């Protein structure tokens, strides 16, 4: 079986959940080779092995963070050497940019926003949702190495322990790589809440909230349940909540155990980012809101009355 390159992300010894999802998908296609930036500690290597990485390749350099283009080149050099069945990366803005640059360098085809990947007789078969998940499309790259950017929550990470071998390479900083340089980074303040894409419970607010201050109602419920906060595009565009929290076609895809949509109408573009949630609860004063077509439980009512009651009831039952 030939290799499948998986670009993994890790911070402070923790491998991201989406990287574990990519490893799980990669095992369907071949032997996963996890590609890590920087020196990964033992814990990272162990985790990658637990999820089936037969090999962990470390691209080691102190300058990686500063020169992101050089990272793509290093991955392309590795891919040219390994000739993998496919390269898998996350379908985030960064991941899609890496995928596009890799495809150019390798002369392969790129498929983004994949929600499933299966082995086919002629190479990986990729499922994508098109037109806000109104259509399901299956595609295959017909020329060169397939570069596939996969949306988070496409699959539940499954363990398949192996002991990985470790290989290393460095970074070549040529003229082209030096043209783009990251000058500074700002660490986002932690809210103490789980990551939106990784949370088991997501509470999202929409235009029905009527303002930024009212998002406190969403945060209160999220905190009572230990969940993450999401928002509709209308709320984000109004400046009520940060774009990083937007759920939907042009935001993040979530697939939690429980999704609570508050004051959200359920437009198709919003549904595209949350309709695979296991249980969906909607709070909306309009009984004909499209979100109720999809909800497992619906509360028809004014959110300003419903939300405080809900939080109080949770607190009462927890006491």
Closest separation in Å from C-beta 285 to ligand FAD: 4
d(CA 107, CA 147): 10
- Count interface residues toward ligand FAD (CB under 6 A): 28
d(CA 289, CA 254): 21
Stretch (H or E) spanning 87: strand 86-90
Q: b/e string for 188-200 if b means 16 or more Cβ within 10 A?
A: eeeeeebebbebe
Residue 196, interface with ligand FAD (CB under 6 A)? Answer: no
Among positions 249, 255, 276, 277, the unique one binding ligand FAD when judged by CB under 6 A: 249
Closest separation in Å from C-beta 283 to ligand FAD: 6
- Residue closer to ligand FAD by CB (options 30, 248) is 248
Among positions 193, 207, 223, 224, the unique one binding ligand FAD when judged by CB under 6 A: 207
Burial of 182 (0-12, 13-18, 19+ CB in 10 A): exposed
Among positions 206, 227, 256, 298, the unique one binding ligand FAD when judged by CB under 6 A: 206
- Within 272-301, the residues that bind ligand FAD by CB under 6 A are 273, 283-286, 289
- Residue closer to ligand FAD by CB (options 38, 304) is 304
Does residue 14 have a known ligand-binding role? no
Closest separation in Å from C-beta 227 to ligand FAD: 18
Distances in whole angstroms, Cα of residue 103 to Cα of each of 277, 312, 313: 32, 53, 53
Contacts of 113 (CB under 8 A, 6+ apart): 91, 128, 129, 149, 151
| Closest of 107, 42, 111, 98 to residue 80, by C-alpha | 107
| Closest of 39, 123, 138, 142 to residue 85, by C-alpha | 123
Residue 270, interface with ligand FAD (CB under 6 A)? Answer: yes
**How many Cα neighbours within 13 Å face the side chain of 84?**
29
Does residue 270 have a known ligand-binding role? yes
Among positions 35, 110, 264, 295, the unique one binding ligand FAD when judged by CB under 6 A: 264
Does residue 275 have a known ligand-binding role? no
Contact footprint for ligand FAD (CB under 6 A): 206-208, 232-235, 246-251, 263-265, 267, 269-270, 273, 283-286, 289, 302-304
Binding-site annotation: residue ranges for FAD:
207, 232-233, 246-250, 263-270, 284
């Amino acid at each position: 079986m030939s290799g499948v390159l998986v670009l993994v992300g890790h911070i402070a010894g923790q491998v991201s959940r989406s990287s574990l999802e990519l490893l799980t998908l990669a095992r369907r296609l071949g032997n996963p080779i996890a590609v890590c930036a920087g020196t990964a500690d033992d814990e990272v290597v162990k985790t990658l092995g637990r999820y089936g990485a037969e090999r962990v390749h470390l691209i080691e350099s102190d300058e990686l963070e500063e020169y992101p283009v050089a990272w793509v080149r290093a991955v392309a050099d590795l891919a040219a050497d390994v000739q993998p069945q496919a390269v898998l990366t996350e379908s985030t803005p960064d991941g899609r940019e890496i995928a596009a640059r890799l495809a150019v360098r390798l002369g392969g085809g790129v498929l983004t926003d994949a929600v499933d990947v299966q082995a086919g007789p002629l190479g990986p078969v990729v499922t994508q949702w098109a037109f806000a998940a109104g259509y399901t499309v299956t595609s295959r790259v017909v020329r060169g190495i397939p570069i596939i950017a996969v949306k988070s929550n496409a699959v539940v990470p499954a363990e398949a322990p192996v002991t990985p071998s470790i290989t290393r390479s460095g970074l070549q900083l040529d003229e082209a790589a030096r043209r783009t340089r990251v000058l500074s980074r700002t660490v986002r303040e932690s809210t103490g809440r789980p990551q939106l894409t990784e949370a088991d419970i997501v509470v999202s607010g929409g235009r029905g909230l009527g303002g930024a201050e009212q998002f406190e109602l969403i945060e209160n419920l999220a905190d009572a349940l230990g969940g993450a906060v999401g928002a509709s595009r209308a709320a984000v565009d109004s400046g009520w909540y940060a774009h990083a929290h937007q759920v939907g076609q042009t935001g993040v895809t979530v697939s939690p155990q429980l999704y609570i949509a508050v004051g959200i109408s359920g437009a198709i573009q919003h549904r595209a980012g949350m309709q695979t949630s296991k249980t969906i609860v909607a709070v909306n004063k309009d009984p004909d809101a499209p979100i109720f077509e999809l909800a497992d439980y619906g509360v028809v009512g004014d959110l300003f009355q419903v939300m405080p009651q809900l939080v109080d009831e949770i607190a009462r039952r927890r006491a």
